[in-house]
């Protein structure tokens, strides 16, 4: 195996069943090109450039990655845990940088940035509406189709609206919307930004004095937050409507007025607040993770596909964990 | 964000670029020094050709000069101001420097018009319509108007390089850096570039009467005869000022022979 950093063949000695690096050989640490602002001046991004937005460049990480495969399961778990923490660190730093730029450059170059925000909102919202209406109809069918027969058996048809609220409004609606936005827009984000990074577009922005985070990341973050929220609302409305339609087709003795009264009774103000917060948080997580994997680390074109896979996995984990936190919060409050 | 519209006070020094004991790090590994000991001064309106063979560090040198990486050692001043500069308050000074990348580094999802208009729109907060007259004027001058609605992927290299040039000069920089300026161009395109760069350096180009310092990198010095007034070479990690064309011709060194293909090999090679 040849080191990408120093070009020397790694000199491993056979020791037992695994290899160890020679003690005298010190591979050079390859500090990758700094993503945004490579200056040595004091700025809000410099401190996170070398290590935090690019945790793979940290000497410890490099050393860890060069180590031979672990011989025990605990070593394997430890290694994975370490890399997980490094990723969390990088994502956290990137999120903070993005928030900092959003605040610091709020209102800067509005005639350039606002059309970008509108475009991203349209891409992550309006253009996904047809597929979301289809999903809403399918979701109503699945839930009503499965629950009506059971509720009829136990004479609990009056709980149909409550079930719709619990399942669609609080849980499935936001999660399905987030997964759809991730699949349709999040992956495109990684590919676009990763390609831009690999082909030098980010350096071109820097050379033109344009902050890449302000120009490339902020519109995507705002657009995906708004888009995810709006699509979730449409998905819920569509699912609730189609739910009654399927119930009507199945001859459920439930008048529209009664159905919607059940829905209203099951909902409270906290549901609306939590729904807005949850969907906006999902949009934030998806946009930050996908932008981070596309932009914050130096990429070659052949690495873009792997970065996309990593981003999708981390987005799903992030959204599910956040969902769990919201469930706990809801249970605690209610 | 109206930085370029602000009036920038040029210091009394006539030097556009001044480097003292500068060392340049590799782009992939800033700790690895590619070129060291650069002592160089380029005046306003001077036309420099910096030559070197493949891997000599021309691109790294130019990226550092453009402020995309900091010098590992030494001091580098642009119009008297220490580089690199990234503070928002010094953006206007920084934008006095334009850079054309070797392969353009254009924004592939944007049209030619959008590529050229972006710096103008971003720094002066203009809409597409407001930026259109200035952008179209530059596109006409660079013969790019028919390509205005095309994306870079649909264009040949020679036209992409022109788009990169138009994008770099739309903010009217005082110093223009061009990496591998004539690489991959045919004779007609090369003549067009040389003519435009001559005009820019003399203050007769599309940027008005203000002379522009032009610094190009190349691996062949012959084409710059009669155009560049100053020559320098990058070799074995050293930056050497060769002087004018006549002084360059007088240098007897293997490197100069390689950078001037067709010149008879020297009998007694001397150090440059």
Determine contact: B102 vs chain A, CB below 8 A. Answer: no
pLDDT band at A70 (very low <50, low <70, confident <90, very high): low
> Which of B51, B123, B114, B132 has the alpha carbon at shortest distance from B93?
B123
Kindly report, residue by residue over B164-218, the tens digit of the pLDDT: 999 999 999 999 999 998 888 888 999 999 999 999 988 887 777 788 999 999 9
Residues of chain A with Cβ-Cβ distance to B28 below 8 Å are 30, 32-33
CB contact under 8 A, A28 and B29: yes
* Coil, helix or strand at residue A25: coil
- Stretch A309-313: mean pLDDT, rounded? 93
Q: Using an 8 Å Cβ cutoff, are B131 and B118 in contact?
A: no
Top-confidence residue, A152 or B113: B113
CB contact under 8 A, A207 and B99: yes
Top-confidence residue, A154 or B163: B163
Kindly report, residue by residue over A130-189, the tens digit of the pLDDT: 999 999 999 888 887 778 778 877 878 778 888 888 888 888 899 999 999 999 999 999
Residues B80 and B82: their CA atoms lie apart, in Å, by 7
Look at A220-229, B83-92, B153-162 and tell me which has the smallest mean pLDDT.
B83-92
Query: Per mean pLDDT, which of B12-21, B120-129, B234-243 is the most reliable?
Result: B120-129
Report DSSP state, residue A166. I
Do residue B192 and residue B225 come from a single domain?
yes
- Stretch B106-130: mean pLDDT, rounded? 94
Name B17's bridge partners. B42, B78
> Which of A235, A232, A234, A239 has the alpha carbon at shortest distance from A160?
A239
Determine contact: B118 vs chain A, CB below 8 A. Answer: yes
Q: What is the pLDDT of residue A267?
A: 87
Number of domains in chain B: 2
Do residue B112 and residue B168 come from a single domain?
yes
DSSP B3-46: GGGSPP---S--EEEEEEEEEEE-SS-TTSEEEEEEEEEEETT-
Is the pTM higher than 0.90? The answer reads no
Direct distance between the N- and C-terminal alpha carbons of chain B, in angstroms, rounded to an integer: 46
Q: What is the mean pLDDT of chain B?
A: 85
Task: Name which of A33, A39, A192 is nearest B70 (Cβ-Cβ).
Answer: A39
Enclosing domain of residue B152: 104-172
Do residue B41 and residue B22 come from a single domain?
yes
Q: Using an 8 Å Cβ cutoff, are B116 and B150 in contact?
A: no
Task: Name which of B27, B95, B125 is nearest A109 (Cβ-Cβ).
Answer: B125
Do residue B82 and residue B194 come from a single domain?
yes
Q: What is the pLDDT of residue A72?
A: 72
Direct distance between the N- and C-terminal alpha carbons of chain A, in angstroms, rounded to an integer: 58
pLDDT band at A58 (very low <50, low <70, confident <90, very high): low
Determine contact: B68 vs chain A, CB below 8 A. Answer: yes
Residues A45 and A217: their CA atoms lie apart, in Å, by 14
Do residue B138 and residue B164 come from a single domain?
yes
Report DSSP state, residue A165. I
Residue of chain B nearest A195, judged by CA positions: B108
Q: What is the pLDDT of residue A64?
A: 66
B270–chain A nearest CA distance, Å: 33
Residue of chain A nearest B82, judged by CA positions: A41
Q: Using an 8 Å Cβ cutoff, are B83 and B63 in contact?
A: no
Residues of chain B with Cβ-Cβ distance to A203 below 8 Å are 63, 68, 101, 105
Task: Name which of B28, B70, B122 is nearest A112 (Cβ-Cβ).
Answer: B122
HEC per residue, A88-103: HHHHHHHHHHHHHHHH
**Is the predicted pLDDT of residue A324 greater than 90, yes or no?**
yes
In the numeric block, the tokens 């700025």 are attached to A43
Residues A140 and A26: their CA atoms lie apart, in Å, by 61
pLDDT band at B163 (very low <50, low <70, confident <90, very high): very high
Q: What is the pLDDT of residue A15?
A: 36
Task: Name which of A40, A199, A210 is nearest B108 (Cβ-Cβ).
Answer: A199
**Is the predicted pLDDT of residue A19 greater than 70, yes or no?**
no
DSSP H helical ranges for chain B: 58-65, 91-94, 112-124, 128-141, 157-169, 187-202, 245-250, 254-259
Look at A58-67, B84-93, B104-113 and tell me which has the smallest mean pLDDT.
A58-67
Residues B261 and B180: their CA atoms lie apart, in Å, by 17
- The ipTM, to two decimals, is 0.86
Do residue B184 and residue B162 come from a single domain?
no
| Pairing between β-strand B175-178 and β-strand B213-218 as defined by DSSP bridges | parallel
**Is the predicted pLDDT of residue A50 greater than 50, yes or no?**
no
> Which of B165, B166, B155, B150 has the alpha carbon at shortest distance from B117?
B166
* Coil, helix or strand at residue A302: helix
Residues A10 and A25: their CA atoms lie apart, in Å, by 8
Residue B152 lies in a domain: yes
Q: What is the pLDDT of residue B3?
A: 44
Residue B7 lies in a domain: no
Supply φ then ψ for residue B146, to 5 degrees: -65, -20
Write out the two tokens for B268: 């007694």
Residues of chain A with Cβ-Cβ distance to B103 below 8 Å are 200
Residue B8 lies in a domain: no
Residue B43 lies in a domain: yes
Residues B93 and B37: their CA atoms lie apart, in Å, by 25
The Cα-based distances of A253 to A151, A162, A244, A259 in angstroms read 12, 16, 11, 10
Residues A108 and A114: their CA atoms lie apart, in Å, by 10
Q: What is the mean pLDDT of chain A?
A: 80
Do residue B51 and residue B108 come from a single domain?
no
Question: What CATH code is carried by the domain that includes residue B52?
Answer: 3.40.50.300
- Is the four-CA dihedral A139, A144, A146, A147 of positive or negative sign? positive
Distance of CA A224 to the CA centre of its chain: 10
Residue B9 lies in a domain: no
**Is the predicted pLDDT of residue B247 greater than 80, yes or no?**
yes
Residue B47 lies in a domain: yes
Kindly report, residue by residue over A89-118, the tens digit of the pLDDT: 999 999 999 999 999 988 888 999 999 999
Supply φ then ψ for residue A254, to 5 degrees: -140, 120
Do residue B115 and residue B86 come from a single domain?
no
Mutation target to probe the B interface, by most B beta carbons within 10 A, among A207, A212, A295 is A207
Hey, what's the torsion of the CAs at A105, A110, A116, A119, to 10 degrees? Answer: 130
**Is the predicted pLDDT of residue A25 greater than 60, yes or no?**
no
Say what percent of chain B tops pLDDT 70. 90
Number of Cβ within a 10 Å radius of residue A196:
23
B241 by Cβ neighbours in 10 Å (0-12 / 13-18 / 19+) ranks as middle
Q: Which of B172, B196, B225 is the last residue of a domain?
A: B172
Query: Please, which residues have CB within 8 angstroms of residue B240's CB and are 6 or more apart in sequence?
Result: B232, B233, B234, B272
Do residue B49 and residue B130 come from a single domain?
no
Do residue B244 and residue B116 come from a single domain?
no
**Is the predicted pLDDT of residue A29 greater than 60, yes or no?**
no
- Stretch B237-254: mean pLDDT, rounded? 82
Q: What is the pLDDT of residue B27?
A: 79
| Pairing between β-strand A12-15 and β-strand A18-21 as defined by DSSP bridges | antiparallel
Do residue B127 and residue B184 come from a single domain?
no
pLDDT band at B4 (very low <50, low <70, confident <90, very high): very low
Cis peptide leading into residue B24 (ω within 30°): no
Residue B62 lies in a domain: yes
Kindly report, residue by residue over A33-48, the tens digit of the pLDDT: 444 444 443 343 343 3
* Coil, helix or strand at residue B102: coil
Say what percent of chain A tops pLDDT 90. 40
Residues A38 and A50: their CA atoms lie apart, in Å, by 9
Determine contact: B20 vs chain A, CB below 8 A. Answer: no
Name B50's bridge partners. B217, B232
Kindly report, residue by residue over A266-304, the tens digit of the pLDDT: 888 888 999 999 999 999 999 999 999 998 777 788 888
Write out the two tokens for B209: 């009467």
Angle between the B128-141 and B157-169 helix axes, to the nearest 10 degrees?
Answer: 120
Determine contact: B70 vs chain A, CB below 8 A. Answer: yes
Say what percent of chain A tops pLDDT 70. 79
Do residue B47 and residue B82 come from a single domain?
yes
Q: What is the pLDDT of residue B88?
A: 77
Q: What is the pLDDT of residue A66?
A: 66
CB contact under 8 A, A209 and B95: yes
Determine contact: B91 vs chain A, CB below 8 A. Answer: yes
Q: What is the pLDDT of residue B219?
A: 85
Residue B3 lies in a domain: no
């Amino acid at each position: 195996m040849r080191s990408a950093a120093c070009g020397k063949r790694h000199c491993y000695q056979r020791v037992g069943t695994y290899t160890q690096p020679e003690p005298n050989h010190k591979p050079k640490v390859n500090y990758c090109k700094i993503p945004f602002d490579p200056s040595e001046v004091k700025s809000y991004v410099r401190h996170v450039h070398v290590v935090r937005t690019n945790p793979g460049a940290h000497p410890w990480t490099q050393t860890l990655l060069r180590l031979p495969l672990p011989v025990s399961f605990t070593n394997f778990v430890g290694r994975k845990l370490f890399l997980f923490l490094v990723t969390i660190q990088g994502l956290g730093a990137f999120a903070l940088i993005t928030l900092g730029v959003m605040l610091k450059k709020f209102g800067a170059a509005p005639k350039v940035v606002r059309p970008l925000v509108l475009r991203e909102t349209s891409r992550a919202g309006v253009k996904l509406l047809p597929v979301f209406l289809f999903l809403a109809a399918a979701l109503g069918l699945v839930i009503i189709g499965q629950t009506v027969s059971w509720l009829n058996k136990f004479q609990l048809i009056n709980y149909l609206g409550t079930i719709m609220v619990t399942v669609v409004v609080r849980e499935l609606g936001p999660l399905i919307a987030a997964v759809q936005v991730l699949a349709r827009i999040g992956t495109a984000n990684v590919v676009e930004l990763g390609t831009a990074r690999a082909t030098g577009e980010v350096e071109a922005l820097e050379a033109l004095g344009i902050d890449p985070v302000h120009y490339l990341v902020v519109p995507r973050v705002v657009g995906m937050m708004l888009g995810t929220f709006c699509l979730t609302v449409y998905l819920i409305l569509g699912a609730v409507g189609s739910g009654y339609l399927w119930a009507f087709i199945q001859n459920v003795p439930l008048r529209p007025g009664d159905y919607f009264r059940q829905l209203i009774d099951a909902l409270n103000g906290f549901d609306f607040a939590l729904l807005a917060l949850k969907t906006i948080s999902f949009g934030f997580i998806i946009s930050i993770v996908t932008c981070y994997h596309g932009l914050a680390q130096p990429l070659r074109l052949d690495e873009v596909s792997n970065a996309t896979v990593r981003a999708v996995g981390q987005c799903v984990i992030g959204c599910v964990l956040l969902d769990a936190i919201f469930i706990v919060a809801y249970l605690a409050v209610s | 964000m109206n930085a370029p519209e602000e009036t920038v006070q040029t210091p009394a020094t006539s030097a556009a670029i001044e480097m003292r004991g500068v060392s340049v790090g590799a782009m992939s590994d800033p700790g690895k020094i590619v070129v060291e000991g650069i002592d160089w001064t380029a005046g306003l309106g001077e036309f420099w050709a910096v030559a070197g063979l493949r891997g000599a560090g021309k691109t790294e040198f130019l990226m550092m000069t453009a402020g995309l990486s900091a010098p590992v050692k030494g001091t580098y001043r642009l119009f008297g101001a220490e580089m690199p500069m990234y503070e928002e308050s010094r953006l206007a000074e920084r934008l006095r420097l334009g850079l054309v990348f070797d392969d353009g580094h254009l924004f592939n999802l944007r049209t030619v018009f959008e590529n050229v208009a972006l710096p103008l729109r971003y720094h002066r907060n203009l809409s597409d319509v407001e930026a259109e007259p200035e952008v179209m004027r530059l596109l006409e001058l660079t013969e790019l108007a028919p390509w205005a609605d095309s994306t870079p992927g649909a264009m040949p290299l020679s036209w992409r390089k022109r788009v990169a040039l138009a994008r770099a000069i739309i903010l009217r920089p005082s110093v223009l850096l061009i990496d591998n300026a004539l690489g991959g161009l045919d004779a007609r395109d090369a003549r067009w570039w040389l003519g435009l760069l001559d005009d820019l350096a003399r203050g007769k180009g599309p940027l008005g009467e203000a002379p522009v310092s032009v610094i190009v990198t190349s691996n062949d010095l012959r084409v710059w005869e009669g155009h560049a007034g100053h020559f320098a070479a990058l070799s074995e990690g050293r930056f050497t000022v060769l002087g004018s064309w006549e002084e360059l011709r007088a240098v007897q060194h293997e490197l100069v022979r390689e950078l001037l293909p067709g010149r008879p090999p020297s009998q007694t090679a001397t150090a440059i």
